[in-house]
Amino acid sequence: MFEVNFFEKKQKNYLPALLGAFTLIMIMGIGLYFFTAYTSLVRQDERNKEWLVTEAEQVLVSRQIKNYAETTMQLNDEKSLFEEMEYPMATAAELLVKRIPGGSGNITSFYLSAENQLTLVLGNLSVTQIDETVLDLRKQDYVANVQLIRVESDAEDTGSLAEIWVTLDEATLRGEAAQ
**Which of 145, 170, 176, 178 has the alpha carbon at shortest distance from 87?**
170
Whether 172 shows a pLDDT value over 90: the answer reads: no
> Radius of gyration over alpha carbons of the chain, in Å?
47
Q: For position 169, what pLDDT does the model report?
A: 87
Q: Is 41 a residue whose pLDDT tops 90?
A: yes
126-132 long-range contacts, Cβ below 8 Å, gap at least 24?
126/159, 126/160, 127/151, 127/153, 127/160, 129/101, 130/160, 130/162, 130/164, 132/101
The residue type of 70 is E
| Res 44: pLDDT | 97
The per-residue pLDDT of the chain, averaged, comes to 86
pLDDT attached to residue 78: 85
Q: What is the dotted CATH code of the domain comprising 89-178?
A: 3.30.1360
Give the whole-number percent of the chain exceeding pLDDT 90: 34
Q: Nearest 5 degrees, angle CA 42-CA 46-CA 47? A: 115
pLDDT at position 79 is 84
What's the pLDDT score for residue 77?
83
Output 22 or 102, whichever has higher pLDDT: 22
Are 60 and 146 within 8 A, CB to CB?
no
Q: Write the pLDDT tens digit of every residue in 73-127.
A: 988 888 877 777 777 778 888 888 888 888 877 888 888 887 889 899 988 888 8
Least Cα distance to 32 among 43, 24, 21, 20 occurs for: 24
| CA neighbours closer than 13 Å in the CB half-sphere of residue 130 | 23
Mean predicted confidence (pLDDT) in 30-53: 95
Q: How many residues does the chain have?
A: 179
Alpha carbon distance 34, 29 (integer Å): 9
Kindly state the average pLDDT of the residues 141-156: 86
pLDDT at 18: 93
Q: What is the pLDDT of residue 4?
A: 67
Q: How far apart are CA 162 and CA 147, in angstroms?
A: 11
